[in-house]
Each structure stands twice: as structure tokens, then as C-alpha cells.
Amino acid sequence: MDIRQTSNIPVIDRSDNRPKPVKHVVPETEQVTEQNKRAVVISGDEVSYAKADAFRTKAGYDKPAPQAEQAVREYLSFERETKRDSVRQIMGVDIYA
């Protein structure tokens, strides 16, 4: 009995089955220390600090206007009052009093 087999499977050369070398990867800690070595720290003088303080007080971004603060307080108190009313209606008890 003669068995003839034909296949279309490509021939793969497996003689070079070794892993390929990877690029050298610098650990993150070494990168950070290299960046720290190259970093330049510039400290300000009295004039620059005075200018920064003047700008901070003039800009007023840190504190909202008193009218805005009052409006927020009123809105929150109105919201709390509506929650109290809903609890009173549901339970028949004033638990926030």
C-alpha cells in the first residue's frame, strides 16, 4: 500500500528559535534621578513675592463675592427646608427639629 500525501503547508525554518534581544529599558527610578540632576531651581526674591501677593489680593479668585455666598446659603437653606417638609409628610414626624 502506497500513501501519497500532498499538502500546502509552508515549510518553516525553526533552526533560529532563539529569542531576539530587547532594547535596553531604563528603569523609571533612574529616569527620575536623571531629570532631577538636570532640573534648575529658581527661587524668587522679595520683589517677586511682593508682586505675587499684590496680584493674589487684587485677583480675588480665592473668595467669591459676599452676594454670591449669601445666595448659596439661601438656596441651601431652602433645599433643607423642602427635605424637612417631605420627611414630615412621609413619616408624620419632625426628625430634623
Domain chopping of the chain, boundaries: 65-97
Contact 95/87 with Cβ under 8 angstroms?
Answer: yes
Residue range 41-78, pLDDT digits in tens: 677 788 888 998 888 888 766 677 889 889 999 999 98
- Cα 58 to Cα 46: distance, rounded to the nearest angstrom: 18
Question: Which pLDDT score, from 0 to 100, does residue 37 have?
Answer: 67
Which residue stretches of the chain are H helix?
28-38, 46-59, 66-91
List the grid coordinates of 20.
Answer: 531576539
